[in-house]
Structure 1
Amino acid sequence: MSLKFLSAPWLGNPVVRQTIRLLVSVGLCGFVTRLTHLQEPGWALITSVIVTQSSIKETLSSGRYQLVGTLIGAAASILPITLMLYRWPLWESFALAFVPLAVLASWKPDTRMSVVTLMIATLFATPNDPYLMPVERVLSILIGVGVSMLVTYVVLHEQARRDAFRNAAATVRQIVEMLTQAHTHEMDWSQIQDLNDASVASLRKVQSAVEEARREHWRPLEKRDPMLAELPKILRQLQMDALVVTRAVLMAGQTPAHGTDDAIDPLSPGLMRAFGWIIDRCESEGVARTGEEYRVAAGVMTGLPDDDGQGEEIMRFVMGVLRTDLKTLIQLLADDDTKKA
């Protein structure tokens, strides 16, 4: 039942995933603050909302800025609090620490939280124990950041792999569309370039998802998921091959007639079967880590047309490169590495 829930299609929506992470983060943070009996639990909850981002990279970055800024501000607040204990005026004491922190925040915007912490610790200090507020503030930030990190790593942390393969399938579909439009000559080169830009955008999403997956575990991605680690590089090469092929087809200036030699036909049955297999394989990996029987992939590769040495030399060359990289991608996706997870 839990596996069906985790593989539900609606979990592919980034808004839904982030909503779940945020709700879990705030709820867990509230539970921890009750256990620790913080006097100002609201700051921990606010921190969890700010720090919990849609990716591990963003969460780590936001948490680091929150923590560093708070520590600087808490340390700086000791000076005005001590001066006020010796009967210094509030605003004069506050200004001695505020001005340097304002300069620091202007120079390093990532430290702006230090100014906020200074204001909270100094202007809203506890009368009976003025040093308690900086300590409370640091503890609140530590709880908020720690809970956010935990939630980001644990809740839906495998989604990056699914995103990578779903975007890989979208990239291959756009490659097929480029080849189709070039084959029928229904688009000119500028329109083909627009299609290529869309495929490049999908490819960037694949790369981003793979980088996110690298941060999800301590083990190197190349050891626990070699298929995913190699996916962007091979897919990028395939996308570049397709662009070169479309350019060569358009330069030929003629629509290939029915029965054209498969070796130079970008829409030959063997190639279309290979592209379709890759799309289906990526979509299956986008749902769950499944593995694949290699004999099926071997049959797909056998169906790819061979270069028989006939036809235009340029087309034979670029189509040969495309077929080679297609075989490389098929071999990668056919590798059953489910036991390495």
Structure 2
Amino acid sequence: MMEHDAMTAGAPAAPPPARWAAIRRLLEPRGAEIRQAARLLVSVLLSDLLARAVHLHEPVWSVITSVIVTQSRITQTLTTGRDQIVGTLVGAGAGLFAILLVQTGTMPGWLAFWLALTPLALLAAARPNLRFAAVTLMIVLLFPISGDPFLRPLDRIASILIGVVTSLVVTMFVLHDAARGDVLTASGRLIADIADLLDRALRGELDHDTIETIDEACRTHLQEIYGAVAETRVEGLRVLRRRPDPLLDVLPGLLRRLRGSAVFAARAATEAGELPTVDAALDAERRALARVLSQLSRRCARAARGRRLIAREDAAAVLAVLHPPGPYWSPPMQFTLGMLHDDLERAVRAVWSDGAALPYPEMNKSGG
């Protein structure tokens, strides 16, 4: 027992960074839905406290605005907040005009309301992002408060601005998802779909309709990638610090080209007589593509989880299984597979080097 205690006492303790990382993983809420719910609750609480701190007459509009504006992504919050502010200003202007008509006795309140609402309804039909203008008009005219009627729109504009600003700050800094991980996760899924497409095409299992169905899924992943890349450019005020991310600068374009080459090769493989009659050549190409794409997909998934990247020279070992298509392949398939190999090699080198390897080296100007 004493020997065991001595060994335990002499064992090295876990480094503090590792302990803190483990504690953070335990305390941090899991799941995008839970994080979004927490952000929404924090946004509602802060907007209510701020509205009451500046003594607004109706802080409830700040709370309602924060519920509307707080989104899971910063880009979505920015877009919704912008629409909310512009619509609020337009609606408040229309409300002031209607209040002026009523206060001067030009027309009754109901007629002034409909006169102001009609152009806003037409504006919302033409520009749906300005639908908040009609909502603001209704808030100004249909929910009266005591005091100067011309101060009503200003009070509610202040309430809405507090809700928008609070929502933006909370979305950016409270339990925000790392968009870079989202990019790499979606990239791994796209590469897995490409691997499945090529494997089934080289087995002769696909027709044009099935290829189109798989390609639609690949396009969806590409849209997710581009959306997440846009998110990385604004999260954590990175747009102000202008920190470059070489991998995210080139990865979407590389994967778009890889998808195009894979679909082109799959369509060519469905044509009669394009696949080689020698089974060994067909199986070797299929296994080589499956191996490289599988490693590339796993690499993206591992990078999305924040694991340390391996050395750049290992990319050459991954690509060593790819060989130029030989004479067993038809000329069209030699061309399409060669193009596919080139695009796959660029993607592998970019991911393995974390974007340090240029995917398209500049041509030597002295060489013509």
Question: How would you bin the TM-score normalised by the shorter chain?
Answer: 0.7 to 0.9
Match 1:260 to one of 281, 287, 292: 281
**Greater displacement, 178-187 / 305-314:** 305-314
- Which residue does the alignment assign to 2:245? 225
Q: 1:188 Cα deviation (Å)?
A: 2.9
Match 2:55 to one of 22, 34, 37: 37
1:26-47: CA deviation from partner (whole Å, max 9, x where unpaired): 1222232232232211110000
- Which residue does the alignment assign to 1:193? 212
Residue 201 of structure 1 aligns to a residue whose secondary structure is helix
Structure 1 residues 254 and 234: CA distance shift in structure 2, 3 A: closer
Assess if the C-alpha contact under 8 Å between 1:189 and 1:247 holds in 2.
Answer: yes
- What TM-score do the two structures reach when normalised by structure 2? 0.78
1:191-227: CA deviation from partner (whole Å, max 9, x where unpaired): 2332222222222221222223233344489952120
Structure 1 residues 79 and 220: CA distance shift in structure 2, 3 A: closer
Assess if the C-alpha contact under 8 Å between 2:181 and 2:303 holds in 1.
Answer: yes
Assess if the C-alpha contact under 8 Å between 1:214 and 1:221 holds in 2.
Answer: no
Asked if residue 234 in structure 1 is aligned to residue 259 in structure 2, the reply is: no
Q: 1:278 Cα deviation (Å)?
A: 0.7
- Which residue does the alignment assign to 1:142? 161
Q: 1:172 Cα deviation (Å)?
A: 0.9
Assess if the C-alpha contact under 8 Å between 2:89 and 2:133 holds in 1.
Answer: yes
Q: 1:134 Cα deviation (Å)?
A: 2.0
* Aligned-partner Cα distance in 2 for 1:70–1:113: 6
Q: 1:176 Cα deviation (Å)?
A: 1.0
- Which residue does the alignment assign to 1:292? 310
* Aligned-partner Cα distance in 1 for 2:250–2:242: 8
Residue 224 of structure 1 aligns to a residue whose secondary structure is coil
Assess if the C-alpha contact under 8 Å between 1:79 and 1:97 holds in 2.
Answer: no
- What TM-score do the two structures reach when normalised by structure 1? 0.83
* Aligned-partner Cα distance in 1 for 2:336–2:92: 63
Q: 1:228 Cα deviation (Å)?
A: 1.2
Q: For structure 2, list consecutive stretches of 5 or more residues without a partner in the other structure.
A: 1-18, 357-368
* Aligned-partner Cα distance in 2 for 1:220–1:291: 27
* Aligned-partner Cα distance in 1 for 2:30–2:181: 8
Q: 1:295 Cα deviation (Å)?
A: 2.2
Aligned ranges for residues 1-341 of structure 1 at < 5 Å?
A: 3=21, 13-82=31-100, 88=105, 92-93=108-109, 95-96=111-112, 98-108=114-124, 109-216=128-235, 217-219=237-239, 224-251=244-271, 252=273, 258-260=279-281, 265-268=284-287, 270-288=288-306, 290-307=308-325, 311-336=329-354
Structure 1 residues 39 and 254: CA distance shift in structure 2, 3 A: same
* Aligned-partner Cα distance in 1 for 2:296–2:242: 21
* Aligned-partner Cα distance in 2 for 1:66–1:223: 30
Assess if the C-alpha contact under 8 Å between 1:179 and 1:266 holds in 2.
Answer: no
Structure 1 residues 44 and 317: CA distance shift in structure 2, 3 A: same
Structure 1 residues 241 and 220: CA distance shift in structure 2, 3 A: farther
Count the aligned residue pairs: 332
| Aligned-residue CA RMSD (Å) | 3.2
The residue type paired with residue 63 of structure 1 is G
Q: For structure 1, list consecutive stretches of 5 or more residues without a partner in the other structure.
A: none
The residue type paired with residue 121 of structure 1 is V
* Aligned-partner Cα distance in 2 for 1:11–1:255: 53
* Aligned-partner Cα distance in 2 for 1:92–1:151: 43
The residue type paired with residue 243 of structure 1 is V
Assess if the C-alpha contact under 8 Å between 2:204 and 2:270 holds in 1.
Answer: yes
**Greater displacement, 56-65 / 121-130:** 121-130
* Aligned-partner Cα distance in 2 for 1:221–1:238: 31
Q: 1:275 Cα deviation (Å)?
A: 1.2
Structure 1 residues 235 and 220: CA distance shift in structure 2, 3 A: farther
* Aligned-partner Cα distance in 2 for 1:201–1:228: 18
* Aligned-partner Cα distance in 1 for 2:102–2:72: 43
Give the % identical residues. 34
Residue 296 of structure 2 aligns to a residue whose secondary structure is helix
